[in-house]
């Protein structure tokens, strides 16, 4: 019996990212104490609160790896989850500084908004072709610190969610305090 498409990909993931869910959770909880990387803090927040934003996600298959064998030039995905109904959910994250003002910052924010959608849709197409996975078995999501994007994914079938920078920082402080009590 040969594995096809989705099953073949799940098997591949278990080989290249063999960490247990407990190890992955420990890693993301460790990031909270050392928020040196805002993007990684955002990813930790999403991982530890995944059901609040993308409720169908049930098992993390890949984190920050290329889902297309070792072809990182074809793109790597922030998260690839298996859903409760046996589909794949690709999620790209982007920390977008919504606090800075000025024309240059507005331009930078717009560039980041466009890029995150381009990344996830391009990856979805390449991914489906490479692994021979049907479009109906692939879903996409974008998670940022910018609520302005919440409507942008509707026309291209991308689920968009966000958390404000303020709420992200309050969460980090409360989790950090909770860990030390």
Helix, strand, or coil here: 49? coil
Q: Are 9 and 88 in contact (CB under 8 A)?
A: yes
Whether this prediction's pTM lies above 0.85 is answered by yes
82-108: pLDDT as tens digits = 999 989 999 999 998 888 788 888 888
* Each residue's pLDDT tens digit, 15-72: 888 788 899 999 999 888 876 789 999 999 999 999 999 999 999 999 988 777 665 5
Check: CB of residue 131 under 8 Å from CB of residue 8: yes
């Amino acid at each position: 019996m040969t594995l096809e498409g989705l099953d073949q990909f799940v098997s591949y993931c278990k080989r290249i990212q063999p960490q247990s869910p407990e190890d992955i959770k420990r890693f993301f909880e460790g990031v909270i104490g050392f928020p040196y990387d805002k993007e990684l803090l955002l990813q930790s927040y999403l991982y530890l609160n995944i059901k609040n934003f993308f409720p169908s996600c049930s098992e993390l298959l890949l984190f920050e790896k290329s889902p297309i064998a070792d072809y990182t030039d074809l793109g790597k995905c922030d998260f690839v989850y298996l859903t409760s109904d046996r589909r794949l959910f690709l999620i790209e994250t982007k920390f977008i500084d919504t606090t800075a003002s000025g024309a240059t910052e507005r331009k930078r924010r717009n560039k980041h908004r466009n890029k995150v959608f381009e990344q996830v849709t391009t990856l979805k197409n390449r991914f489906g072709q490479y692994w021979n996975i049907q479009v109906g078995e692939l879903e996409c999501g974008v998670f940022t610190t910018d609520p302005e994007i919440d409507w942008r994914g509707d026309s291209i079938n991308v689920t968009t969610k966000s958390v404000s920078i303020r709420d992200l920082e309050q969460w980090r402080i409360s989790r950090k305090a909770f860990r030390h009590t």
